Amino acid sequence: MKRYLETGNFAITEGAILAGCRFFAGYPITPATELAEAMSSRLPQEGGIFIQGEDECAALHLCVGAALGGYKAMTATSGPGYILYADPYGWAIGSEIPVVILNSGRVGPVSGITGAPGQGEFYLTRYPTQGGNFETIVLAPNSAQEAMAMTVEAFYLSERFRTPVTVLADQLITDGFEDISVPESDGEMEEMGFRTWPRKINRGPEFYPAMDEIDVPPVVLGHNTGALCSDWTPTEEGYDIEQVQAHHKHAYRLIYKVRNHRSLFNHLYEKNFMDDDPDLVVVSYGTPSRVVNTAVKKARQSGLKVGAVRLINLWPFPDEHFRRKTKYLSVELNWDGQLVREVQRAAPKDSEVHFIGSCGDLPTVTDLIEAFERLLQGQSLARRGWELEEW
Amino acid sequence: MDNLSKKYLRPRKIPSTACSGCGLGMNHKAVVQAIYDLGLEVEDIVWGTSIGCAGRQTFGTWKGDGFAGTHGRVYAIARGLRLVLPPEKKIILTVGDGDAFGIGLLHLIHSARSNADFTVIVNDNLGYMSTGGQYGWTTPRGSKTDSSPYGMYEQNLMSDGMDVLGVLRNAGATFLARHVSMDGQRAVESIRKGIQNRGFSLIHMVYPCPTNFGSRELGTRDTVKIYNWIKKKAAPLGEEKENTLWATGIYYDASNSRREFSESIHRNIEKIRRTGTI
């Protein structure tokens, strides 16, 4: 194990290399540029390929092209680049191509503020492309070390599920310097819970088993297997077809291969002070969860019955954490409230679900504790201007 | 095409579902003939396609490995693939004019800029015909289409002294040719040279669409009329007449004169790996 004081971008780069990534295509964008820079320096040393795309749309297409040739590939961007992935993301979902995407959230909409953290792409990562009829897998770390782990995990899941996986970080995670341990052997990787999966090659004519199976090797071109893949609704051999029944099989597979095997990654969450059925459950992911954890710990010390659920696996949304009827508070780095909507949906009817948003700047521990107190006393948060009226 | 078909194409997809009288099959045959003339086998080629008439009708026709990209992006996918496939594998892309010169032009230019080794056959039916017939970036001035009911009056990549091949030449393409689908053996020769170039090659091949372009511009779906209309407007380079829209032949040949994209990247990676520098 080697220790560094380094950025999340460094940690993600090392994680990708540990996972077997040997292709990175990127396009400069704050705050993910340093990740591309690190890749441009590290990948050639490992015999890997770094390339700069003409835009983000090209960058992810370059990655899926490399993945089609049998490489583990990755790209990284921020919100304004993530939307340009819509084309290749959909292509990779439909053609079932494994690829890993990092999104370092900044302040939006559009270019917004480049150098401050935001969580505006919660729903965008669920629907990164058009058309629906699919599930996406999204992992959200809250530290540089965990960003490395989740990058490794993203490669693992993308291979097993034959689908793109997004790691949703934010500017503080990718740019911030932290204490990072990088494993140096397979044993150390195992010790740290890093799972890897080799690229397998689909050598048969069967492209879509039309069922929810995982561990189906993806199409890899260049081995003269007669493999086909395209952007159209496929037949079981990968031919294009305009037929509702064929599409139903395709859609079923894209949805249920993920839904029916959630047990592979639904352990990716963190719970604090949740054993005694707290009166208020604070929900968060990413960087804000670090403030939340501190605030909840302090609140407990002063006798408030508060617990915290931190989501790492964001999508498919883990409804199971919200079965109990209680008060929920979602803490997010946006002003419009995104995660809170999903908590509202998942929680039992008539549950009280509240929201505190900010963007570009983290909430303070003091503010959070005051909010906990108000909610536990049955008061609303609206007076402080934290909440939108309807929350 | 029988023998060529048997050797290289899938019976499930040939004959294609193209409209009656469509000229795309002539272009397709010229490509397969060129492959045959070069002595290449099914396993030597990975075949990519775009969307629209040209992409969809040629997707999955090649007996070997194949893929279809989203609108205009097949060039970027092909560049990624080029970097990881062995250099001896050829990549051929059959695409349409809207895909290559409209939505995909940025990616096409960067493929030329980097001199990525693949051969792009741009099958030009003079606009967006699979969507019913709208004008595109090579539609002749004055042509009536569903989105230019008064005649196409925009400046485009083939009007007012412009030539899309000139754009690509300046972008770094190392082999460029133009044909119409009736050019027969001359077109086959150009495609053959394009495939032999270890770098970015593009062959622009105009073909007749009786269903949409012909019916709107000429007022008839009569196949002979649209074939003759195109033929009259084409002439070999150097023999252009006043009404020539498409000067056919090899527009630019700098085959193997510049280092190929993938070769260049791999050479540098290898050197960095060995010495830590380039």
Per-residue DSSP letters for A146-192? HHHHHHHHHHHHHHHHTSEEEEEEEHHHHHSEEEEEE--SHHHHHHT
How is residue A198 written in tokens? Answer: 């080799």
Interface touch A65/B42, C-beta < 8 Å: no
Superfamily of domain covering B2-275: Thiamin diphosphate (ThDP)-binding fold, Pyr/PP domains (3.40.50.970)
Chain B residues in contact with A95 (beta carbon < 8 A):
67
Chain B residues in contact with A58 (beta carbon < 8 A):
73, 76, 79, 106-107, 110
Cα of A127 vs its chain's centroid, Å: 12
How is residue A332 written in tokens? Answer: 């997010």
Chain A residues in contact with B93 (beta carbon < 8 A):
none
Residue A210: the pLDDT is: 77
**Among B43, B59, B80, beta carbon nearest to A66:** B80
Kindly report the backbone phi and psi dihedral angles of residue A153, in degrees, each rounded to the nearest multiple of 5, phi listed first. Answer: -65, -40
pLDDT greater than 80 at residue B179:
yes
Confidence check on the interface: ipTM exceeds 0.90, yes or no: yes
Chain B residues in contact with A219 (beta carbon < 8 A):
67
Is residue B95 within 8 A of residue B57, CB to CB? The reply is no
Chain B residues in contact with A97 (beta carbon < 8 A):
none
**Does the CB of B42 have a partner CB in chain A at under 8 Å?**
yes
| CA separation, residue B275 to residues A44, A45, B26, B266, B269 (Å) | 11, 10, 51, 14, 10
Alpha helices (runs of H) in chain A, residue ranges in sequence order: 8-18, 33-45, 56-68, 79-82, 86-95, 122-126, 144-161, 171-175, 186-191, 244-259, 288-301, 339-346, 365-376
Place of tokens 């494994």: A98
How is residue A10 written in tokens? Answer: 């460094």
B23 CA to chain A: closest CA distance, Å? 22
How is residue A224 written in tokens? Answer: 């003269």
The residue of chain A nearest to residue B70, with distances taken between CA atoms, is A231
Cα B4 from Cα B6, distance rounded (Å)? 5
B75 CA to chain A: closest CA distance, Å? 9
**Among A221, A231, A238, beta carbon nearest to B81:** A221
Is residue A27 within 8 A of residue A62, CB to CB? The reply is no
The residue of chain B nearest to residue A48, with distances taken between CA atoms, is B269
Is residue B157 within 8 A of residue B167, CB to CB? The reply is yes
Chain B residues in contact with A234 (beta carbon < 8 A):
none
- Report the CATH fold assignment for A2-191: Rossmann fold (3.40.50)
Which residues have a Cβ under 8 Å from the Cβ of A126 and sit 6 or more positions away? A136, A138, A314, A315, A317
Residue of A79, A53, A92, A311 lying closest to A174 (CA atoms): A79
Interface touch B83/A66, C-beta < 8 Å: yes
Number of neighbouring beta carbons within 10 Å of residue A334: 21
Residue A328: the pLDDT is: 97
Residue of B174, B173, B178 lying closest to B189 (CA atoms): B178
Name the percent of chain B in helix, strand, coil, to the closest 5: 40, 20, 40
Half-sphere exposure of B19 (CA within 13 A, CB side): 22
Domains of chain A, residue spans? 2-191, 272-384
C-alpha dihedral sign at B167, B173, B175, B179: negative
Q: Over the stretch B16-32, which tens digit does the pLDDT of each residue have?
A: 889 999 999 999 999 99
**Does the CB of B252 have a partner CB in chain A at under 8 Å?**
no
CATH code of the domain occupying A272-384:
3.40.50.920
Cα of A337 vs its chain's centroid, Å: 18
User: Count of A–B CB contacts within 8 Å?
Assistant: 140
A122 CA to chain B: closest CA distance, Å? 25
Is residue A288 within 8 A of residue A362, CB to CB? The reply is yes
What single letter denotes the amino acid at residue A254?
A: L
Residue of A187, A114, A190 lying closest to A152 (CA atoms): A190
**Does the CB of B77 have a partner CB in chain A at under 8 Å?**
yes
Average pLDDT, chain B: 97
Residue of B90, B93, B63 lying closest to A205 (CA atoms): B63
**Among B67, B80, B272, beta carbon nearest to A25:** B80
Chain A residues in contact with B85 (beta carbon < 8 A):
69, 221-222
Cα A36 from Cα A24, distance rounded (Å)? 8
How is residue B155 written in tokens? Answer: 């400046």
**Among A47, A71, A91, beta carbon nearest to B70:** A91
Query: What is the average per-residue pLDDT within B134-150?
Result: 97
Query: What is the average per-residue pLDDT within B213-228?
Result: 97
Cα A63 from Cα B73, distance rounded (Å)? 12
β A177-182/A2-7 pair status: antiparallel
Q: Which of B8, B73, B111, B271 to mutate to test the interface with A (most CBs of A within 10 A)?
A: B73
Per-residue DSSP letters for A3-26? EEEEEHHHHHHHHHHHTT--EEEE
| CA separation, residue A326 to residues A110, A353, B26, B202 (Å) | 36, 9, 70, 65
Query: What is the average per-residue pLDDT within B237-253?
Result: 97
Chain A residues in contact with B51 (beta carbon < 8 A):
231
Domains of chain B, residue spans? 2-275
How is residue B187 written in tokens? Answer: 């077109």
Q: Which of A21, A221, A237 to mutate to test the interface with B (most CBs of B within 10 A)?
A: A221
pLDDT greater than 80 at residue B1:
no
Place of tokens 């979602």: A330
**Does the CB of B168 have a partner CB in chain A at under 8 Å?**
no
Residue A382: the pLDDT is: 65
Residue A391: the pLDDT is: 45
pLDDT tens per residue across all 391 residues of chain A: 999 999 999 999 999 999 999 999 999 999 999 999 999 999 999 999 999 999 999 999 999 999 999 999 999 999 999 999 999 999 999 999 999 999 999 999 999 999 999 999 999 999 999 999 999 999 999 999 999 999 999 999 999 999 999 999 999 999 999 999 999 999 999 999 999 999 999 876 677 777 899 999 999 999 999 999 999 999 999 999 999 999 999 999 999 999 999 999 999 999 999 999 999 999 999 999 999 999 999 999 999 999 999 999 999 999 999 999 999 999 999 999 999 999 999 999 989 999 999 999 999 999 999 999 999 999 988 645 555 544 4
Of A388 and B34, more confident:
B34
Chain B residues in contact with A130 (beta carbon < 8 A):
none
pLDDT greater than 60 at residue B161:
yes
Residue B41: the pLDDT is: 98
Cα B153 from Cα B156, distance rounded (Å)? 9
CA distance from start to end of chain A? 46
Asked, colleague to colleague, whether A2-191 and A272-384 share their fold, the answer is yes
